[in-house]
Amino acid sequence: MAFAYDRPRVGHAAWNELHTADQLGAWAFYGDLFGWVHDGDLDMGPMGQYQFIRRGGMIGAMMKADPAMGPPRWNTYFRVADIDAAKTAVVAAGGQVVQGPDEIPGGDFSMNCIDPQGAAFGLVGGRSS
């Protein structure tokens, strides 16, 4: 139950996002290894296609890595009850918010953060106000 693809679960991983320079190679590797399938795209303009990953339910997406974004990596988004309260908590605990909160398709908001030790993570959730 660490990852909740069936319904939103506060405190659980909600979305996995791969930033990669080689989407075709990633599909071959993860598709063969885990049985993941490509399930549609979202056009992100100059950033290319945001390619959705399905394994049972929708579990995440792949996007083309931009060299300015750093090396290829996975970003995991954890579900929070309130994105604004989570932003306040991240900053109060010594972390940084590096992007967001930004509205995403479906009405939730996401943000990218760095913990006090320098590890990147994402948060996703609604707004209570």
Mean pLDDT by 10-residue block, N- to C-terminus, for the chain (129 residues)?
A: 68 89 93 92 89 87 84 91 97 96 92 94 91
Q: Which helix or strand (DSSP H or E) is residue 16 part of?
A: strand 13-20
Q: Give the pLDDT confidence score for residue 3 in this predicted structure.
A: 64
Write the burial class of residue 9 (CB in 10 Å: 0-12 exposed, 13-18 middle, 19+ buried). middle
Assessment of whether the complete model's pTM goes beyond 0.95: no
Evaluate whether residue 123 is within a structural domain: no
Give the chain's domain count: 1
pLDDT of residue 98: 94
Dihedral angle sign, alpha carbons of residues 82, 84, 90, 96: positive
C-alpha to C-alpha distance for 19 and 100, rounded to whole angstroms: 18
Asked, for residue 66, whether it belongs to a domain, the answer is yes
Residue 123 host element (H or E): strand 120-125
pLDDT of residue 4: 63
User: Does residue 6 belong to any structural domain of this protein?
Assistant: no
Q: Do the domain assignments include residue 96?
A: no
Q: Per the domain annotation, does 104 fall within a domain?
A: no
**What is the domain extent for residue 21?**
16-74
